[in-house]
Amino acid sequence: MTSLTSLIHSTICWRILKGVWPLPQSFTISSERYPLNPQAFYFAYGKQSAAQEGCSVLDEAFKRYFSLIFPDYISGRFYSEAIFILYALRVSAGQASLKAETVWGALRGLETFSQLVYQEDFGSYFVNKTEIEDFPRFQFRGILLDTSRHYLPVRAILKTLDAMAFSKFNVFHWHIVDDPSFPYQSRTFPDLSAKGAFHPMTHIYTQSDVRRVISYARMRGIRVLPEFDSPGHTQSWGKGQSDLLTPCYRGSTPSGTFGPVNPALPSTYKFMATLFKEVSSVFPDSYIHLGGDEVNFSCWKSNPDVRAFMQKMGFGTDFTKLEAYYMENIVNITTALNKTSIVWQDVFDYHERIPKDTVLHIWKGDPASYEAELSRITKAGYRVLLAAPWYINHISYGQDWQKKKIHIPFTGTEEQKKLVIGGEVCMWGEYVDATNLTPRLWPRASAAAERLWSDEKQTSNVDKAFPRLQDFRCKLLRRGIQAEPLFVGHCKHEYQGV
């Protein structure tokens, strides 16, 4: 016995059978439709295209999208060639042309085209006459996975990368280590995972695992942003690296427990320089995430050596100065490695003197407070990344995808607006592992994806968005993504993989 309201939406949800998610910036589709013959269909690079055969990203993408476009088409010859100039898609009789400035734009256009093709009941494929010009609203559209609170098998990560590409996400923020476990197998410090992982063999990411994730992501136009969060959130680091964490004291004797990284020892910075040198070479992306959030001062305060260091440095009893000193050192290490640092907002909150090209990552609080933080940080001239509205691990009963479509708040100047580089959907791992990751993430994250890609004015009405998202969710199922339902109803091809 549940309420009768069930029916209200389920009747709506079949009206729009075609559609693109996230919505393109400009989109004209006519009722005139053309049949597509898988035998005759092929991609070809344009004569004047800079990209030609041998461009692995597109050659691979053509293969991938051929089977996404024709899901039940088995064999048949295949040309990996196509026409390019910018990301504009024009579907006309006998030919579709896709013009993009970059191969990454071309990837997005292929995704769009694949969503335009549909199958009628007898199985033949159609696409309508269509004109699309498209570009992302924000350059940074990320998803965070937390592989420390629960270990995620590599295949679960790859599956997520597939689904990310379908929603046009372009950054995988890999929160790879944290307090509970250290699954990253370091070349220079193998003990970190040997002693800090949940299991030294079955619950780690080897160097080749990481390479596999990075190249799989690259092929889908997704960059991999690694996070090695310190000085807090490092309990698991201490198991494999002695003298790294601060020994906490009870009165005048060590209590046997440990706090954040010890900022008073030169050995700490030597260790971090070596670790980040490795990380910078393993993860080619120009961004690196340094964390810097939620540092608890009580252990530092309890430790006599730390207090002595505070005096020596003239910090008095202001532990935010010590925290700032530590973060400054870490940021300088990664800057020397030609990386752009991203840190959580905490670093700005306690310390406004940080290198100008550092990106601040907003994760705290309700709309009122992150809106205020957004303008404070941009007023100070820093670039920001917004995560606070999209903590997707927080679930509630009902159609909570609507909350993920939240308006991106802003009261600042045009200059300030330019400093907002994008947003991120965070799937923290307290209650999530491979058993429930996919249905919890999809299609809920797709709601945020549209906010980050599309024109907010065209996409803010959730009732209009509902049938398109319902249809997109069925496409995800058809593509093997275990995406949960939005509401009462069904898909032509239900999930079978129980």
Task: Name the residues that contact its own copies, by CB under 8 A.
Answer: 1-4, 6-7, 10, 146, 149-151, 153, 155-156, 159, 178-181, 198-199, 202-203, 229, 232-233, 235, 291, 293-294, 296, 344, 363, 393-399, 428-436, 438-440, 477, 482-490, 492, 494-498
Spatial contact of 259 and 313, defined as CB atoms under 8 Å apart: no
Q: Kindly report the CA angle at 270 between 266 and 272, in degrees rounded to 5?
A: 115
In whole angstroms, give the CA distance from residue 22 to residue 449.
7
State how far the Cα of 135 lies from the Cα of 469, in Å rounded to an integer. Answer: 20
Q: Identify which of residues 11 and 139 has a Cβ nearer to its own copies in the complex.
A: 11
At its nearest, how many Å lie between its own copies and the CB of residue 342? 12
Give the residue from 289, 292, 190, 296 showing the smallest Cα distance to 248: 296
Instruction: Choose between 317 and 435: whose C-beta lies nearer to its own copies.
Output: 435
By beta-carbon proximity to its own copies, the closer residue of 266 and 398 is 398
- Catalytic site includes residue 430: no
User: Quick one: 414 or 430, whose CB is closer to its own copies?
Assistant: 430
324 is written with which tokens?
Answer: 């700032």
Q: Which residues pair with 146 in a beta bridge?
A: 175
Task: Please report how close the Cβ of residue 476 comes to its own copies at its closest, in angstroms.
Answer: 9
Nearest to 143 by CA among 411, 450, 448, 484: 448
Q: Is the dihedral of CA 74, 76, 79, 82 positive or negative?
A: negative
Cβ 456 to its own copies shortest distance, Å = 26
Radius of gyration of the chain from Cα atoms? 25
Q: How far is the CB of 149 from its own copies (least distance, A)?
A: 5
Cβ 363 to its own copies shortest distance, Å: 5
Annotated catalytic residue, options 294, 352, 415, 494: 294
Nearest residue (CB) to its own copies, 57 versus 156: 156
SS3 301: helix
Per-residue buried b or exposed e for 344-381, using 16+ beta carbons within 10 Å of the residue's own CB: bbbbbebbeebeeebbbbbbeeeeeebbebbbbbbeee
46 vs 439 by CB, closer to its own copies: 439
Residue 170 DSSP code: -
Smallest distance, its own copies to C-beta of residue 435, A: 5
User: Token match 């010590």: residue?
Assistant: 322
* Beta-sheet strands, E only, within 69-158: 80-82, 88-92, 95-99, 118-119, 125-133, 140-146
Residue keyed to tokens 């690296």: 241
Active-site amino acid positions: 294
